[in-house]
Structure 1
Amino acid sequence: MKITEPPRTPERRKQDLLDRLEREIDVWVATADREGLPCLVALWFVWDGAHLWLATRPTNPTGRNLRDGRRARLAFGDTRDVVLVDAQAETFPAQDVPVAAAEAFLAKTGWDPRRERAEYAWFRMRPTAVQAWREVQELPGRHLMRDGVWVVQDPR
C-alpha cells in the first residue's frame, strides 16, 4: 500500500485481521515483570475465533509475566501493515488445556507441547483492544476493538 492509496474500510481491516489470525503462525508477545522489565519474544499461536492460544515454559520470563501480570501486547506485521492486540492472559497447565485448543495448535504448528519432557503452560489470550493500520492515512479509525468489544461489525 502506498500513502496515495485510499484507506481500507473498517470492515475490510477487520476481515484482513481475521484472515491474518487464521493464516499466520507467529506473533510477537510483549510482557513486563512486576518491576517493569520488558520482555519481547515471538511465539507460535492458534486463533479459536475468540482467543489466541500460546504455549511456553512457565519458568521463562514470558511464562512468568503472563501468569503473574495476566496481560500482554501482541503484534503482527511490519511497519507498513501493523496489528496490535492488547490481551488478558489466563494460564492453563498442560493437563488442563482444552483438548480442542491443543489439537488446533498441533494442526497449525505441527508441534504438541503436551508431549514435551519439559513443562509447558498454555495461555488463553482474550483480546481487549485491537488496532490495525497501513500507513498514515489509516491511522484514523485504526481501533477495531475497545474494552473487549468489536467496534467494527463482522465483515462476513
Structure 2
Amino acid sequence: MEITDSPRAMEARKQDVLARLEREIDIWVATSDAEGVPCLVPLWFVRYGEDLWLSTRPGNPTGRNMREGAKVRLAFGDTRDVVLIDGDVETFTARDVPEAAAEAFLGKTGWDPRTSRAPYDFYRVRPRMVQAWCEARELPGRYLMRDGVWAV
C-alpha cells in the first residue's frame, strides 16, 4: 500500500481531535495499579470545558486505579486515525460532582450515574498530553499538547 496524501497541518489535527471529542461517546481508558498491572476498558465520556469526564464504579479496577494513581491514558479505537490523551485524574463522588459536569455527561450519554442504585464516581481528566496522527506520514508533529498547553 502506498500512501500519497500529505500530512494534515497541526491546526487541522487539533480541530479533528476536538470534533472527535464531541462526536464520539466511547473512549478507551488505560490505567494500571500500584504493581503495574494494566487495565483497559471502554467508558462513556463527555468533554466539558477543557476536561474530559468519565464515570465508573469506584470499586472496579479502573475506578480504583484512577483514584489511587491519578493518571490515565485515553484513546479512540481506530488504529489508522490515532488520538492518545494522557491526563491527570481527580475523583468526585456522585454527591460532590459539579452539577454542570454531571448534566453534560447526562446530556451526551443519556445516563445519569447519580441516580444509579450502585455507587458510581465521576473522574475529571485534565489533559496533559495529546497526540494525533493518521498513518506514519503524520508521526512528525503528532504532539498537539504537552504539559497541558496546546502547541497550536
* TM-score normalised by the chain length of structure 2: 0.98
Matched, 1:3 2:3: yes
Matches within 5 A, 1:18-97: 18-97=18-97
Structure 1 counterpart of 2:121: 121
3-state SS of the aligned residue for 1:96? coil
Deviations 1:32-85 (A, max 9, x none): 000000000000000013000000000000000000000010001311100000
One-letter amino acid matched to 2:73: R
Letter in 1 for 2:32: A
Matched, 1:103 2:99: no
Contact 1:58/1:64, CA 8 A, preserved across alignment: yes
Which residue type is aligned with residue 49 of structure 2?
Answer: G
Gaps of 5+ in 1: none
Output the CA distance in 1 between the equivalents of 2:150 and 2:20: 17
Q: TM-score, normalised by structure 1?
A: 0.95
* Letter aligned with residue 118 of structure 1: A
Structure 2 residue runs without a partner (length 5+): none
* Maintained 8 Å contact 1:3/1:136: no
Q: Quick check: 2:31–2:71 contact (8 Å CA) kept in 1?
A: yes
Can you list the C-alpha shifts for 1:108-131, whole angstroms capped at 9, x where unaligned?
A: 001000000000000000000000
Kept in 1, the 8 Å contact 2:44–2:54? The answer is yes
Q: CA RMSD in A?
A: 0.8
- In the alignment, residue 129 of structure 1 is paired with which amino acid? M
How many angstroms apart in 2 are the aligned matches of 1:64 and 1:122?
Answer: 12
Count of aligned residue pairs for this structure pair? 151
**3-state SS of the aligned residue for 2:4?**
coil
Runs of 4+, deviation exceeding 2 Å: none
The whole-number CA distance in structure 2 between the counterparts of 1:42 and 1:79 is 15
